[in-house]
Amino acid sequence: MNIFGIRGGAKVSGRKELTAETPVEKLPMPRLLHVPLQQHVGSPAVPIVSVGSRVKKGQLIAESKGAVSAPVHAPTSGFVTRIGNHLAPHPSGLPVLTLSMEPDGRDEWCKLPEPLELETASPKEIAERVSEAGVVGMGGAAFPSAVKLSMGDKYDLDSLILNGAECEPYLTCDDRLMRERADETIIGTRYMMKALGVSKAYIAIEDNKPASFKSMQVAAGENSGIEVVYVPARYPMGSSAHLVQAITGRETPASGRTADLGVIVNNVATAFAVYEACKLGRPLISRIVTLSGEAVKRPANYEVLVGTPASDLMKQSGGLIEEPKQLLMGGPMMGQPLPNLDIPIVKGTSGILALRGTEIPEQNIMPCIGCGSCVTVCPAGLLPMEMMNRLDHEDVDGADEIGLRDCISCGSCNYVCPSHIPLVQFFNYGKGRLKEQDTDKARHVKIKVLTEAREKRLEKRAP
């Protein structure tokens, strides 16, 4: 298949060899689980069990609330020991409402819903099942998948792209999933295609993962409407806009959605979760997590229950060789720095990294030398040094004028900058300021509309 050229992108050091060649290992049952009730984009789930309740594996423990939300299920059988705030898997360090439970060691399933047959299930039934199973985007975005799978109602869709690019360095959880669970992932893809009403799906894999490519190609078979395609190993190949550009040649408009172009993008691990939900009736209660970095004694991929403390994961894998210079959740390009390992693994956790000083880019910041490397690599076609310059002078509107909102915070500019300027931190700050301004503007518009409506009402009442 012909792959279209993409704009920008950087060749980054993969460090995938630390974990890519060993099979996924199962983690022993943790002593305690801390299951956050907000692991997704949207409203937090609301607990429906209380402290002291015995719950079974897969049982609904918190209901979704609102149109964009996701329910949460018990990762194993045991007793609810606490419902209260716990450190969130987020660098803010802010606590979120979390249900803690003590496993009883029996790992006893609750009664699961009957399998949905692909041939007879309607698109609506598939989306409902995915919603009930609490499936969210597992590439890190954690957007409730049922909302995406219902987009066929509103958009004129023609294809689904499954992201198996895994362009972030160190992470290999999707690579291992595609090698070890290809058949199940392809079945999940078929359910997704049916829900969206599309007859074409592409599985996009970077051209440095031949083993994944082969296993997915065999599982997809011929004439299935599912095509496994190589995309260039160039960061950030896994961004939705880039996958759509590379595979279909269509450009996602600024601040637009790929659905506007007829394409829905999902992660391969999400397709596996859809398989488990539809075919086995199982909710999303575990995932594959890459534990890596040179400070880790035994880097590997693990099947981990949601709610497992990251410290347990580290302990079970042999612990640390030395005090890490940096802890991250996710990859080094877009991952979130962690203050410690007290946070639990959630549905969107693709990796936990513990890095040595030698693995972290030079921190010695120097003035911009105007080399233009950041412009060359920017996949969004922006002028990072100029945006940084404007933000440095508190000119947020000026940065907005030259495309700040189109920045996807991929970190490519940071990576190549010879002056080690933390460009993406400027952009995240600027985008935060823009959000505040938007909220203020929306508030002013609302006040204006309400005031005008009130004045009109008073005019009508006037004798």
Nearer Cβ to ligand SF4, position 345 or 391? 391
Nearest-approach distance from CB 362 to ligand SF4, in angstroms: 12
Cα Rg for the chain, rounded, in angstroms?
A: 23
Q: Report whether 354 contacts 379 (CB < 8 A).
A: no
Nearer Cβ to ligand SF4, position 10 or 204? 10
In angstroms, the CA 71 to CA 405 distance is 31
Nearest-approach distance from CB 387 to ligand SF4, in angstroms: 7
Nearer Cβ to ligand SF4, position 392 or 452? 392
Nearer Cβ to ligand SF4, position 346 or 378? 378
Size of the site for ligand SF4 (CB under 6 A): 29
Q: Report whether 161 contacts 243 (CB < 8 A).
A: yes
Nearer Cβ to ligand SF4, position 97 or 368? 368
Among candidate residues 381, 354, 359, the one with its CA nearest the CA of residue 290: 354
* Residue from 87, 136, 192, 423 in contact with ligand SF4 (CB under 6 A): 423
Nearest-approach distance from CB 409 to ligand SF4, in angstroms: 5
Strands (E) across 216-374 are located at 226-231, 263-267, 286-292, 300-305, 326-329, 336-337, 351-355
Nearer Cβ to ligand SF4, position 303 or 386? 386
Nearest-approach distance from CB 242 to ligand SF4, in angstroms: 11
For residue 342, CA distances in Å to 92, 128, 199, 218, 307 come to 13, 34, 44, 41, 11
Look up tokens 């999940």; give the residue.
188
Contacts of 66 (CB under 8 A, 6+ apart): 42, 43
Nearest-approach distance from CB 297 to ligand SF4, in angstroms: 33
Q: Report the relative pairing of strands 72-73 and 54-55 from DSSP bridges.
A: unpaired
Look up tokens 């972030």; give the residue.
168
Nearest-approach distance from CB 90 to ligand SF4, in angstroms: 20
Q: Whole-angstrom distance between the N-terminal and C-terminal Cα of the chain?
A: 75
Nearer Cβ to ligand SF4, position 84 or 418? 418
Nearest-approach distance from CB 199 to ligand SF4, in angstroms: 33
Nearest-approach distance from CB 238 to ligand SF4, in angstroms: 13
Per-residue tokens: 437? 């301004």
Query: In terms of DSSP H, where are the helices of 206-345?
Result: 210-220, 240-248, 268-279, 310-316
Nearest-approach distance from CB 204 to ligand SF4, in angstroms: 19
Nearer Cβ to ligand SF4, position 265 or 417? 417
Subset of 4-23 contacting ligand SF4 (CB under 6 A): none
Nearer Cβ to ligand SF4, position 164 or 411? 411
Candidates 202-210, 286-294, 310-318, 423-431 — which segment interacts with ligand SF4 by CB under 6 A? 423-431
Phi and psi at 242, nearest 5°, equal -75, -40
Per-residue tokens: 36? 């956050």
For residue 445, CA distances in Å to 435, 452, 454, 459 come to 15, 11, 14, 21
Q: How far is CA 3 from the centre of its chain?
A: 25
* Residue from 198, 233, 291, 424 in contact with ligand SF4 (CB under 6 A): 424
Subset of 362-421 contacting ligand SF4 (CB under 6 A): 368-374, 377-380, 382, 384-385, 407-413, 416-419, 421
Nearer Cβ to ligand SF4, position 112 or 375? 375
Nearest-approach distance from CB 21 to ligand SF4, in angstroms: 30
Nearer Cβ to ligand SF4, position 62 or 424? 424
Quick one: which H or E segment has residue 203?
strand 200-206
Candidates 80-88, 140-148, 203-211, 422-430 — which segment interacts with ligand SF4 by CB under 6 A? 422-430
Q: Is 272 exposed, middle or buried (0-12, 13-18, 19+ CB in 10 A)?
A: buried
Q: What dihedral angle (degrees, nearest 10) is formed by the CA atoms of 6, 9, 15, 19?
A: -40
In angstroms, the CA 363 to CA 420 distance is 6
Nearer Cβ to ligand SF4, position 137 or 384? 384
Nearest-approach distance from CB 429 to ligand SF4, in angstroms: 12
Q: Report whether 274 contacts 188 (CB < 8 A).
A: yes
Mask for 320-359, x = binds ligand SF4 (CB under 6 A): ----------------------------------------
In angstroms, the CA 263 to CA 198 distance is 9
Subset of 254-273 contacting ligand SF4 (CB under 6 A): none
Nearest-approach distance from CB 440 to ligand SF4, in angstroms: 24
The binding site for ligand SF4 (CB under 6 A) comprises: 368-374, 377-380, 382, 384-385, 407-413, 416-419, 421, 423-424, 427
